[in-house]
Structures are given as C-alpha cells and as structure tokens.
Structure 1
Amino acid sequence: MTRYLILGNGAAGATAAETIRAHDARGEITLVSAEPYGMYSRPGLAYVIIDEIPERQVIACGCRKGEYGQ
C-alpha cells in the first residue's frame, strides 16, 4: 500500500487528495493542516452571511465537522 502525505487543506490539498483517491483506491492519505476545520470556500462565506446561499455550499468534498482525524 502506498502512503501519501499532503500538506495543507486548501484547494490544492483537496484536489490532490481527490486525484490520488481516483487513481489509488487503497492508498493511505494523510492530510496535515494548521486549520482546525476542513476545506471551505472562503469567498463563499460572504454569501452565507447574507443568506444568499446555504452553508453546505461552501463546504468542499463533504468535509464536515468531525470527519477529520486528530
């Protein structure tokens, strides 16, 4: 089994993880980030604040609270 280490959970990190998973279903992916939350669209937050879009639309790839490891 191949092990992957991704630094950062921004757009590049999330894309890297998705691309790796698409090509290697068994590989172990570890994503390291200083952020306490999963990836979300920072520009999209303004639209959530003014109730133009629902919160779920700014959270990427199903990364919800509690789905990230320690």
Structure 2
Amino acid sequence: DHGTYPFVTSSNPTAGGACVGTGIGPRYLSRIVGITKAYTTRVGAGPFPTELTDELGDKLVDIGREFGTVT
C-alpha cells in the first residue's frame, strides 16, 4: 500500500507496478523514466496535514493545473 494509512492506494505506482498493470514484462522495456511531483496532493477523503489553504496554495493549484476529482 502506498499513502497515508488507511487512505492508501492499492495500485503500485512504480515501474514494476506499471508492468503488472499493463501486462508488459520488464524485459521488454529498454528505458524507464521516473517522474515525481515537487508537492503532495490528495485524491478523495482523508487527512492532508500539509494542505495549503492560503494564497500560496491557490497559486500552486493554478500553476500545477490541479483540480479535485475522485476515482
């Protein structure tokens, strides 16, 4: 599980997890590129102790084109 328990994802957001999710074996990959965000976001309910609810938070929402959604 990845995230803040009990609000975790059952998905594996790693290169190996992508292989499992797509059915493509890792030996067929010639290159893996890692991507990360510079700030934390949350999808759905749950605690978010570092949430910025001020003007700076609004600016990050605009720049990062973040918007609320659930899956």
Same fold (TM over 0.5): no
TM-score class, shorter-chain normalisation, is under 0.3
TM-score (norm 1): 0.25
TM-score (norm 2): 0.25
